[in-house]
Structure 1
Amino acid sequence: MGESQGAAVVNETDLRQILDHFSKTQYRARDGSSKVEGFERKCLALFAKDYKYSVILNSNGELCGHYPGKLVVLEYMLGTDGLLGERDHVESMYDVAKLREMMCRSRFARCRERFVMPVILCDGKHICRSATLSGGPEIYGRSGFNYFFSGGESAEPEDEETFTSLSRSPSTSSNDWPLFDRYRGQDIKLLKMLSVTTVCDLMLENKKVKFGVNVTSSEKVDKEHRYSDFCLLSLPYPGCEFFKDFRDNGFNGVNLFFDWSQDFVDADLSIPDRVATATGIDWHVYRSWDLVRITQNYLKLLLFLIKDGDSGVLVHCISGWDRTPLFISLLRLSLWADCKAHANLSAAEILYLTIAYDWLLFGHNLCDRLGKGEDVFFFCFNFLKHITSDDFSLIQRSRRHRASSRADSESCLEPMVLLDLEESRKHKLGSNSSLSSNISITSISSTSSPILTSVQDSSSKEETRNGDIHQTSNGAVRYNVPKSSIHRPESAKQTIIQSATSPVAVPRSCRRSSADMAKSTSSACGRPEHIPEESLRKQRLDQVRMEFNKIYSSVIGPRYAMEPSTGLGSVIGSLVTKVGLKGGRGQYV
């Protein structure tokens, strides 16, 4: 199943083709086509370079309509040469039929039937993705629909052991516990089958409410405490709508702040005390972080859980196709840069794999997001410049150059597809449209405070409060900043404009070309002698970002030129010409 690391599976044409298709069509498993099948084949070939894996069929979307037709379960990593060893002759580590059956049984437990699915393997631990838990209307609606079309027979045989162990006396205010127990019990069994013990919830809400009805729930507010055996982390993170502000702010996440005072935001950040302390991050001030800082710190936290934990991790938001692929993709790329995953893939190959598998085949609707200006997809790859330092590495290295790593990342001139600061300034001064979003952009005082620790009696069943810090019964610390206490400057508009016109570091003349860099990073993780150990991660991530910017400018860039009302087309054309990605006749190269 393995391939030689020297055999390139994808090239630049492949990257252009998949991005072009992705930007026009949202993937649906039942709408199979030869083109999509080609994407899937390439993904399997890329997985095969580094892993022994099994495939679970979802050909017509019978498990989930927006999951890949071929679901890949990674079992173990091959050697760094990409060749199979003695373990190739060992039977699969999983009973694939049983695993598929468990996925089928548990799918109604989660929103849009997007059940828990392992997507990354690192040090024998699965990193999984899913949607959040379904609410009552969806559980009853989907199960009833399934019952009707199955001729009155349940497609999910009842598991008496699970049903009995989770059943409790129904509360006086609810009679829905039997069906909830059944499906959430199967969901828990699937998590345990995959050895997942930590759940990271990116929702801003405790429950998603539409028209006054709770349409989804989450593990952290399950009133029957079915998920009490798991380590539950609440990591509220802005939804895809906020990335319209990212676009309107010149595609710049620095000094771009989410408005936490909105009524629908009711989830507080909650992290186990031991984990919060070990990360060395002052989580108390999370609402004062800009988009770059909150993404950096959440990624550091996820990497810490992967490195120091002894079991798998689940990451999800609401539907699992915007914020979830953002962090799954960043995790895959970060681990690749450290040679902890996909070690035999080149920069172009890992870029193709994460676009195809993490984004397209798991249902991200890029066409819709581009139309609304919610550029969470672009943000993901542009953000790579903010995680090049060894602070995000799982490999222990010398810290002697860490202080300058961020400055180096910011000062290097690379082929960027979007706004330069001068053009951004002109655009913003000429239009107020970027400041009229429903989600306000605010500047928050980020005065630091000491790292908070709290030691409580674990046997306590009640929450104890200390100001705006809450110690929960499971040992987690919940940080709650009252909405009324969030500081805003008198003019948020002025803050944004000043941010867009602040001085920029001069690009270094010693920057190597992408072709030169490709020679030393396109193969496996063997480290050439002339590349310092601490710079390999940076060079690998820079190569991915540059490759992405190149294809994005040629495939997506021209579409901005067709939007004269936004003023973005001329800006992009000017910038792309400056960095040499556009030929003399207006052709992108």
Structure 2
Amino acid sequence: HVRLQATAVGRGSAMAASGLSLRKSEEIVDLIYLFSKTQYRAKEVTPQVEEIERRTLDLFSRDYKYSIIHNPNGEVCGHYPRQIVFLEQELEYDRSSTVSVKLQDLVNRSKLARCRGRFVCPVILYNGKHICRSSTLAGWGELYGRTGYNYIFSGGTDDTCAEPEEVLEDDNGVRNGDSQLFDKVRGHDIKLLRYLSVRYICDLMVENKKVKFGLNVTSSEKVDKAQRYADFTLLSVPYPGCEFFKDYKDRDYTAEGLVFNWNQDYVDAPLTIPPCFNQNLSIDWSQYQSWDLVEQTQNYLKLLLHLINSDDESGLLVHCISGWDRTPLFVSLLRLSLWADGVVHSSLEPAEILFLTIAYDWFLFGHMLPDRLSKGEEIFFFCFNFLKHIVSEKFSAVKKQSVIIIIIYIDVCVLRRKGPSPSPQILWNRLEESALHPLSEARSSSSSSSNQSDHGLTHTGHGLTHMGSSPLAVPGTRVDHPRSASSVSTEYGSWQIVSGCGTPVYDSPLPFSFQEDASSGCPLPPERQTRLESVREIFLAAYSSTVGLKSSTPSPSAAISGLLEQFARGVGLRGHNAIV
């Protein structure tokens, strides 16, 4: 009777959890549907948008103390959130506070420096460092016209605008970037960057300057003639604009083999990064023009992760031209990658982090999804479908512990249970040896362990993963078996799950590929992979039931068929227009 009662309670809890998960997934469906129909404008907010704003603030408050940069009715920037979150520190259950007067003033003053007023805005806090987004620098055409416009229609009271005599300077002086106007507005921009401790600026533009109708309408830090940004580390990492993602859609949403044409007339910004990154990342950057969309996005993400993992406390700015296509792509990938490692938004579930990044990083920062969908420029879809390409631990920001130290720790725990413990001196000698020869020591230790019948641990990979409070993952023997083809294979070898004290969960003598989680009936993949795959599946299911995929061929291709299978494996939602 007791067992039956416990089972009933367990089923009830599972049903409640399932219902909650479904409701969260339905929130994402509603969000994507609204997003596909309208672009966010801070001065045109409906009750539905107000609920999205409230929901995002609630999700931020789960893990952070934050203050608000006020942008009422889009007065600072028309396509930025009305309430911009400034994350201060990780602190549970702490309410928001008022942003410092200095920061709000810097924001108000620096808005003219950048295209469309999209100033440098902090959006992610990682290890005390701010990851920021913005548009590129405003060129003389936009700056000259907008300052005059703002001055006239503000009644001459807006101190962020230039004085009348500055606005009326001769055109040549403004065009050359030598005027006091440029010094003033870009000076405010630099002050804001320094306030946020930003050191690295990654420019995704494929142009040095954006040209329209024969005029330079935007500029960039990398071509500022007065070298105002010389104190920052400038990285030119050219990445295709949203137009390129029509090719992605036309190839049935297949990014593999899709290479950007770098020989087009307007493409004049070469990839330029400091030489030190050639050694630190083991990437041949000279080959960037031969990379397909997958490899290029992967390598750029590795670069961004490397920058924010630097030993100093320097922050990072990522921007493209307007800051609402390529910029949210990499901001969103950074947020999700760090979340999968458990180092940001650690209390959020997959559906919650998905809602947060869609709502905040894309919708509330003005991505024009309706326009992009009408043109087939599916950069938004690409972002979340791309998660399958960054599940590997190669993209993890968390430094893994030494293999040998964990193996010795497990040896001690097991020996305490089944035999006499080695002396502390013996353990110290092992650690010293592993410091000198970590890889060979790990292999020899694993090899010798496999011959000991008392615990049978064998190492076939190159690293271990500690998944928070989950059991430690210890290498297990890999053998060929018909079922192993469907299991997830990574460069870290196969795994045997062990409890926190080092005791194997399974008493089975079989190698890991035969040992299965009793609840799921399949081997457990690394936690990072599980988390990212969950986000992707929820997104695919929601996207299928709202926007859908539009095949360029009369019959569904293998690529789209594969995506549809993942829709079905998502959260149980079924799309009525998966193929249109």
Name the counterpart of 2:117. Answer: 113
Distance in 1 (CA, whole Å) between partners of 2:378 and 2:348 is: 26
Report the Cα offset of residue 249 of structure 1. 1.3
Q: Is the 8 A contact 2:142 2:217 kept in 1?
A: yes
Distance in 2 (CA, whole Å) between partners of 1:29 and 1:132 is: 21
Distance in 1 (CA, whole Å) between partners of 2:129 and 2:574 is: 50
**Residue type of the alignment partner of 1:263:** D
Q: Is the 8 A contact 2:253 2:560 kept in 1?
A: no
Q: Is the 8 A contact 2:254 2:559 kept in 1?
A: no
Q: What SS does the corresponding residue of 1:364 show, helix, strand or coil?
A: coil
**Residue type of the alignment partner of 2:160:** E
Q: What SS does the corresponding residue of 1:263 show, helix, strand or coil?
A: coil
Superimposed CA distance per residue, residues 98-120 of structure 1 (whole angstroms, 9 cap, x where no aligned partner): 21121111101000000000000
List runs of 5+ in structure 1 lacking aligned partners: 1-5, 164-169, 406-504, 512-527
Distance in 2 (CA, whole Å) between partners of 1:584 and 1:340 is: 30
**Residue type of the alignment partner of 1:548:** F
Closer, same or farther: CA 372–157 of 1 in aligned 2, 3 Å: closer
**Residue type of the alignment partner of 2:52:** F
Distance in 1 (CA, whole Å) between partners of 2:367 and 2:317 is: 18
Greater per-residue helix proportion: 2
Name the counterpart of 2:287. Answer: 285
Match among 528, 533, 539 for residue 537 of structure 1 = 528
Superimposed CA distance per residue, residues 552-576 of structure 1 (whole angstroms, 9 cap, x where no aligned partner): 111111x74xx8x864779899667
Q: What SS does the corresponding residue of 1:11 show, helix, strand or coil?
A: helix
Q: Is the 8 A contact 1:67 1:114 kept in 2?
A: yes
List runs of 5+ in structure 2 lacking aligned partners: 1-16, 167-171, 404-458, 465-481, 489-503, 506-516
Q: Does 1:103 align with 2:116?
A: no
Name the counterpart of 1:320. Answer: 323
Closer, same or farther: CA 13–209 of 1 in aligned 2, 3 Å: same
Report the Cα offset of residue 506 of structure 1. 10
Report the Cα offset of residue 396 of structure 1. 2.1
Name the counterpart of 1:190. Answer: 192
Closer, same or farther: CA 69–175 of 1 in aligned 2, 3 Å: closer
Q: Is the 8 A contact 2:298 2:389 kept in 1?
A: yes
Match among 332, 336, 342 for residue 335 of structure 2 = 332
**Residue type of the alignment partner of 1:35:** Q
Q: Is the 8 A contact 2:541 2:575 kept in 1?
A: no
Distance in 2 (CA, whole Å) between partners of 1:373 and 1:506 is: 39
Q: What SS does the corresponding residue of 2:132 show, helix, strand or coil?
A: strand
Report the Cα offset of residue 587 of structure 1. 4.7
Q: Is the 8 A contact 1:390 1:534 kept in 2?
A: no
Distance in 1 (CA, whole Å) between partners of 2:463 and 2:102 is: 51
Q: Does 1:390 align with 2:381?
A: no
Report the Cα offset of residue 32 of structure 1. 1.1
Distance in 2 (CA, whole Å) between partners of 1:211 and 1:217 is: 15
Report the Cα offset of residue 383 of structure 1. 0.6
**Residue type of the alignment partner of 2:304:** L
Distance in 2 (CA, whole Å) between partners of 1:68 and 1:551 is: 24
Q: How does 1:17-96 map to 2 (within 5 A)?
A: 17-78=30-91, 82-84=92-94, 95-96=99-100
Q: What SS does the corresponding residue of 1:358 show, helix, strand or coil?
A: helix
Q: Is the 8 A contact 1:553 1:576 kept in 2?
A: no
Q: Does 1:151 align with 2:152?
A: no
Distance in 2 (CA, whole Å) between partners of 1:360 and 1:118 is: 16
Name the counterpart of 1:303. Answer: 305
Q: What SS does the corresponding residue of 1:272 show, helix, strand or coil?
A: coil
Closer, same or farther: CA 205–258 of 1 in aligned 2, 3 Å: same
Name the counterpart of 1:413. Answer: none
Report the Cα offset of residue 58 of structure 1. 1.1
Distance in 1 (CA, whole Å) between partners of 2:150 and 2:317 is: 27
Q: Does 1:552 align with 2:543?
A: yes
Distance in 2 (CA, whole Å) between partners of 1:403 and 1:289 is: 27
Name the counterpart of 2:409. Answer: none
Distance in 2 (CA, whole Å) between partners of 1:404 and 1:109 is: 47
Say which one has the larger Rg.
Answer: 2
Match among 137, 141, 144 for residue 140 of structure 1 = 144
Distance in 2 (CA, whole Å) between partners of 1:207 and 1:131 is: 13
Q: TM-score, normalised by structure 2?
A: 0.71
Distance in 2 (CA, whole Å) between partners of 1:568 and 1:269 is: 39
Report the Cα offset of residue 548 of structure 1. 0.6
Closer, same or farther: CA 350–188 of 1 in aligned 2, 3 Å: same
Q: What SS does the corresponding residue of 1:280 show, helix, strand or coil?
A: coil
Closer, same or farther: CA 537–108 of 1 in aligned 2, 3 Å: same
Superimposed CA distance per residue, residues 27-82 of structure 1 (whole angstroms, 9 cap, x where no aligned partner): 1111011111100100000000000000122120000000011100000012xxx4
Q: What SS does the corresponding residue of 2:371 show, helix, strand or coil?
A: helix
Q: What SS does the corresponding residue of 1:318 show, helix, strand or coil?
A: coil
Q: How does 1:367-516 map to 2 (within 5 A)?
A: 367-397=370-400, 508-509=485-486
Q: What SS does the corresponding residue of 2:87 show, helix, strand or coil?
A: strand
Closer, same or farther: CA 402–294 of 1 in aligned 2, 3 Å: farther
**Residue type of the alignment partner of 1:284:** S
Closer, same or farther: CA 179–172 of 1 in aligned 2, 3 Å: closer
Superimposed CA distance per residue, residues 388-418 of structure 1 (whole angstroms, 9 cap, x where no aligned partner): 111100112379887899xxxxxxxxxxxxx
Name the counterpart of 1:346. Answer: 349
Q: What SS does the corresponding residue of 1:268 show, helix, strand or coil?
A: coil
Closer, same or farther: CA 404–21 of 1 in aligned 2, 3 Å: farther
Name the counterpart of 1:441. Answer: none
Q: Is the 8 A contact 1:60 1:69 kept in 2?
A: yes
Name the counterpart of 1:252. Answer: 254
Report the Cα offset of residue 158 of structure 1. 7.7
**Residue type of the alignment partner of 1:581:** A
**Residue type of the alignment partner of 1:122:** Y
Q: Does 1:207 align with 2:209?
A: yes
Distance in 1 (CA, whole Å) between partners of 2:227 and 2:72 is: 35
What is the RMSD computed on CA atoms of the aligned residues? 3.4
Q: Does 1:364 align with 2:377?
A: no
Distance in 2 (CA, whole Å) between partners of 1:203 and 1:224 is: 20
% identity of equivalent residues: 54
Report the Cα offset of residue 97 of structure 1. 2.5
Match among 219, 232, 235 for residue 217 of structure 1 = 219
**Residue type of the alignment partner of 1:11:** K
Distance in 1 (CA, whole Å) between partners of 2:157 and 2:62 is: 43
Report the Cα offset of residue 278 of structure 1. 1.2
Superimposed CA distance per residue, residues 189-242 of structure 1 (whole angstroms, 9 cap, x where no aligned partner): 000011111100000000001111000000000000000110000000000000
Superimposed CA distance per residue, residues 444-471 of structure 1 (whole angstroms, 9 cap, x where no aligned partner): xxxxxxxxxxxxxxxxxxxxxxxxxxxx
Match among 27, 45, 56 for residue 14 of structure 1 = 27
**Residue type of the alignment partner of 2:389:** H
Distance in 2 (CA, whole Å) between partners of 1:172 and 1:60 is: 31
Distance in 2 (CA, whole Å) between partners of 1:509 and 1:319 is: 43
Distance in 1 (CA, whole Å) between partners of 2:386 and 2:287 is: 22
Distance in 1 (CA, whole Å) between partners of 2:222 and 2:142 is: 18
Q: What SS does the corresponding residue of 2:73 show, helix, strand or coil?
A: coil
Distance in 2 (CA, whole Å) between partners of 1:295 and 1:556 is: 24
Closer, same or farther: CA 180–579 of 1 in aligned 2, 3 Å: closer
Name the counterpart of 1:228. Answer: 230
Q: Is the 8 A contact 2:140 2:174 kept in 1?
A: no
Closer, same or farther: CA 158–370 of 1 in aligned 2, 3 Å: closer
Q: Is the 8 A contact 2:252 2:559 kept in 1?
A: no
